[in-house]
Amino acid sequence: MSGAVAKAGGVAPNILANDPRFGHLAQLTTRLGDADLSTLLVYLVDQVDAGWLPALAEQFHVAGDEGWRLSQGARQQRELIKQSIHLHRSKGTRWSLQQVLATLALSGQISEWFEYAGKPYHFKIHIDLAARGIAAATLTALEAMINEYKNARSVLELLALVLSNRSAVPVLALATQGGELATVYPFQLESLQQRASLNAALAHASVEMVTLYPAA
């Protein structure tokens, strides 16, 4: 018992540490310093275990159609929870729609009716889904989230989704090489042609000699 009292003397007042009745209780208090309190710090959103994120999303009202269905991974879920108070304070404004889209890494452009001469209180949204693609569930979740954050009197006139495929284009190369081999032999005459005219000439000269002898 005395050992327990001495061990507890560092954390309990002397009046308790020296009382044998409180020795065991004082010894138990030393275990509090070894307790892991991280599980209690659930509001440190960047550090809390990912298993607590759905419960925090319910508490801060960003679960379901308020953005949770469109979140991809724990990083976006943590960011959505951290932005929840600002999103609800500005709910019904253009900023809240832009902010929730940015939080979920959705590149969107909002156009209100007076910017394109449309019907009063109508608006359009163009969203680039090149990074994530589109599915029926994604489209439904987008429309539901927009209805959660838009002004109650506003009407979504158009939701345009931009899809593109960005992939590496294979590089094809082709090289050709050609040549011609020519052999030049010494020049040889195969035929001769004479183009000059032929002039033939003939000359004849004759001499006759007569000798006269005397008569015999």
What is the Cα–Cα distance from 59 to 83, expressed in whole angstroms? 13
pLDDT of res. 119: 94
Q: What is the pLDDT of residues 129-166, one digit of tens each?
A: 776 777 788 888 889 999 999 999 999 999 988 877 66
Place of tokens 């004082």: 26
Comparing 48 with 188, which gets the higher pLDDT?
48
Q: Provide the angle, in degrees to the nearest 10, between the axes of the packed helices 94-103 and 73-82.
A: 150
Q: What is the pLDDT of residues 22-42, one digit of tens each?
A: 777 777 777 777 777 777 778
Query: pLDDT by residue (tens digit) across 165-174?
Result: 667 777 778 7
Could you give the CA distance from residue 145 to residue 131 in angstroms, rounded to a whole number?
19
Q: In what order do the strands lie in the sheet with 107-112?
A: 107-112, 122-128, 155-162
Determine contact, residues 90/110, Cβ cutoff 8 Å.
no
Q: What is the pLDDT of residue 10?
A: 52
CA distances from 32 to 37, 39, 139, 149, 170 (A): 10, 14, 51, 45, 63
pLDDT exceeds 70 at position 200: yes
Percentage of the chain beyond pLDDT 90 is: 35
Sheet strands (E) in 34-193: 107-112, 122-128, 155-162
Residue 129, number of CB atoms within 10 A of its CB: 18
Mean pLDDT for the chain?
82
User: Could you tell me how many residues make up the chain?
Assistant: 216
Q: What is the pTM of this model?
A: 0.58
Count Cβ atoms below 10 Å from residue 152 Cβ, excluding itself: 7
Is the predicted pLDDT of residue 128 greater than 70, yes or no? yes
Q: What residues does each domain of the chain span?
A: 2-35, 39-162
pLDDT > 70? residue 69: yes
Q: What is the mean pLDDT of residues 211-216?
A: 71
| Residues 163 and 131 sit within 8 Å (Cβ to Cβ) | no
The residue-averaged pLDDT of 50-76 equals 92
**Closest by CA position to 71, among listed 113, 41, 104, 40:** 104
Q: What confidence score (pLDDT) does residue 61 get?
A: 92
